[in-house]
Amino acid sequence: MADLDYRESFANRLRNLRITAGLSLEAASGQGGLSTNFWGSVERNEKEPCLNTIFSLAKGLGITASVLMALEDKDRQSQDRQELDSLLDLLTPPQLQLAIEISKLIYAYKPGPSLVTSPPSPTAL
């Protein structure tokens, strides 16, 4: 993990979480009390945020700073897993509980025989 560029990972995570949340730069920066230009420069890895700014960025996304800072192995996951993780990170506690219950149902689902029957082959007629 020594070769991981944490600033770049943070910038990518910030952008991915904002996009996953369906927030524009203007909306996220407004919610966080930051300028749109500054937020964009952090996403482009042009500026390095201080601790107070990290909390403002998290506020703009509606998440905690600890969720925003969860960088380990995020860049090494498949695109589908990254998208799912980003969505899960944005959920409120009640939404997360619902997602867990739905996931358990999906995991337990065992498809039965199809109700759709295929048409008879022409040779059978």
Per-residue pLDDT of 15-53, as tens digits, reads 999 998 999 999 999 999 999 999 999 999 999 999 999
Helix residue ranges, H only, 2-78: 6-20, 25-32, 36-43, 51-61, 65-68
CATH number at residue 92: 1.10.260.40
User: H/E element holding 106?
Assistant: helix 93-108
**Mean pLDDT lowest for which of 34-43, 47-56, 92-101, 107-116?**
107-116
- Determine the structural domain holding residue 52 and report its residue range: 6-107
116 found inside a domain = no
Q: How far apart are CA 108 and CA 105, in angstroms?
A: 5
**Among candidate residues 35, 34, 41, 37, the one with its CA nearest the CA of residue 55:** 34
Q: For the chain, what is the domain count?
A: 1
115 found inside a domain = no
119 found inside a domain = no
Structure pTM? 0.65
Q: Chain-wide mean pLDDT for the chain?
A: 85
82 found inside a domain = yes
What is the identity of the amino acid at 66?
Answer: S
1 found inside a domain = no
